[in-house]
Amino acid sequence: MTSTPWVPTDSRAVTARMRTSATGTSATSDAVKTVAARSRSHGFTLIEIMIVVVIIGVISAGVLLSVNLTGRDHDLEKESERLLTLVNYAREQAELQTREYGVIFHDDGYQFVAYDARRGLWREIYEDDILRLRKLPDGLDVKLTVDARPVVLVPTSDIKPTDSKDKSRGRGISTA
């Protein structure tokens, strides 16, 4: 016996006929397409993930730079206000005491000096602690520019005033 006669099956799923739509595709292929579309919509593509990472990076960099620059700006404003206040104080002292005051800028700070007419030179001010040597915060330095051109000054010891008029006006005070 090589074959058996045909026997009807009990399961309806096995005997159900495949329906065909007007376009000629079966319901099963539509179901496969729907499942495939759903599986694609559940995840993100690599490009989408990379775009999000770049956006987060740009925002983070902006926040970090603004925090750093704001801190520097605050130090700069604070130091410039201090210097302006000290210059005004030195001007008032010069008027009250009829003395010549000047300021010497160093690489890392500045100090006020007074002109000693008897000796003919500038000296540090020891009697007034307000005009003492000041250090600039890290990252700040002093540069002199006139009409967008940097001015390079020679150290004080290299300048020799030529007449008393130059001495009284404070020539010779420069960066060290």
Q: Which two tokens stand for residue 106?
A: 């160093």
Question: Quick one: pLDDT at residue 175?
Answer: 35
Question: Quick one: pLDDT at residue 36?
Answer: 56
**CATH fold of 46-168, please?**
minor pseudopilin epsh fold (3.55.40)
User: What does the pLDDT profile of the chain (176 residues) look like in tens digits?
Assistant: 566 666 666 655 555 565 655 665 555 555 556 655 555 566 788 898 999 999 999 988 887 777 665 556 777 888 889 999 999 999 999 999 988 999 988 878 899 999 998 999 999 988 889 998 999 888 787 888 888 888 887 765 544 443 434 443 333 443 33
Segments making up each domain of the chain, as ranges: 46-168
